[in-house]
Amino acid sequence: MSERQSGVFSWPVRVYWEDTDAGGVVYHSRYLNFFERARSELLRARGIDQMELKETHGFIWVVTEMNVKFRRAARLDDELDVTADFRWMKGVRQGFYQEITRKSDGAQIAIAEVTAVMLQAGSLKPSRLPQWIKNKLEQEH
């Protein structure tokens, strides 16, 4: 496993009614959506188009493990920063570290350690990353 300190990617998110429970607090599963959006946008920023990856190259990414620690509650109308940082590769697995913070006070809302695997789209068998994807993931930004 090679540990890297790459540039951390940040994606802004605002909390809407649809993200909250009856008390105006973000429902726990919505944080997973926020994390997913930031990872997807990190890939896009590094030049990896997931639809092209599937349709042209026959690969898809799936999350195999996610460890989330909820620190504080986010509420209706909060502006959040959701980060995604590519950290490591080992065999067919890739690791990401993510964090959600509230813009107004810098409070840490949640953190996640994510393990993803690239699969062959047709067979769903794990596959090592092609070198061109490794190169893009390892780019400093």
For the annotated catalytic residues, the residue numbers are 21
In a 3-state reduction of DSSP, which class is residue 12?
Answer: strand
Reduced to 3 states (helix: H, G, I; strand: E, B; else coil), residue 95 is strand
What strands, in cross-sheet order, belong to the sheet with 93-102?
A: 9-14, 79-90, 93-102, 108-120, 59-70
Closest CA to 34 of 66, 71, 80: 80
Compute φ and ψ for 108, nearest 5 degrees. -80, 120
For the chain, the helix, strand and coil percentages under 3-state DSSP, each to the nearest 5: 25, 40, 35
